[in-house]
């Protein structure tokens, strides 16, 4: 399903509940927020987006503990979960999605190859997370991340 259709479904699900969403993005650099706000009327359900590309931004803007990043690395489940929770704490929203990953072509390792992305979704007090490893170049990894992030949030709202 294309991202416009996903955003339309997400808009409907959020507006049915009178809920707002927030994003915390690293590897996508704001692409999720951009796709959401491509939709006219998105101010009714999209509250804000945090682009926390650097480790310092993750800590300063949404409260991810620097020690957590140091211990697990920026691309990790604990950091993704902290990003999702932190985004909600720093917004006027009921749901969040967070992504942190390695889009490439550089930056990968044996443990975390290029294409590794951690996702976290927060709906109220419930945080869930998932790791994916996407194939392709930087653009393909980022597009797949946007798609999966939106699908994951929609699934959690169903």
Q: What is the pLDDT of residues 61-120, one digit of tens each?
A: 999 999 999 999 999 999 999 999 999 999 999 999 999 999 999 999 999 999 999 999
**Which CATH number does the domain housing residue 113 bear?**
3.90.950.20
Return phi, psi of residue 121, to 5°.
Answer: -125, 135
Residue pair 89/63 in contact (Cβ under 8 Å)? The answer is yes
CA dihedral 149, 123, 89, 34 (to 10 degrees): 30
Long-range contacts of 125-129 (CB under 8 A, 24+ apart): 126/156, 127/81, 127/84, 127/85, 128/156, 129/77, 129/80, 129/81, 129/84
Residue pair 146/35 in contact (Cβ under 8 Å)? The answer is yes
Structural domain containing residue 127 = 3-157
Total structural domains in the chain? 1
């Amino acid at each position: 399903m294309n991202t416009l259709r996903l955003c339309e479904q997400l808009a409907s699900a959020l507006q049915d509940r009178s809920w707002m969403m927030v994003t915390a993005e690293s590897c996508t650099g704001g692409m999720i927020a951009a796709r959401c706000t491509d939709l006219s009327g998105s101010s009714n359900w999209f509250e804000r987006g945090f682009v926390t590309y650097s480790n310092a931004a993750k800590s300063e803007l949404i409260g991810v503990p620097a020690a957590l990043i140091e211990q697990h690395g920026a691309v990790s489940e604990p950091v993704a979960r902290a990003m999702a929770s932190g985004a909600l704490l720093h917004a006027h929203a009921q749901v969040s999605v967070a992504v942190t990953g390695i889009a490439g072509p550089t930056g990968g390792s044996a443990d975390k190859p290029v294409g590794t992305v951690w996702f976290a979704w927060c709906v109220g007090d419930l945080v869930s997370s998932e790791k994916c490893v996407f194939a392709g170049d930087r653009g393909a990894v980022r597009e797949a991340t946007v798609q999966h992030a939106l699908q994951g949030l929609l699934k959690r709202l169903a």
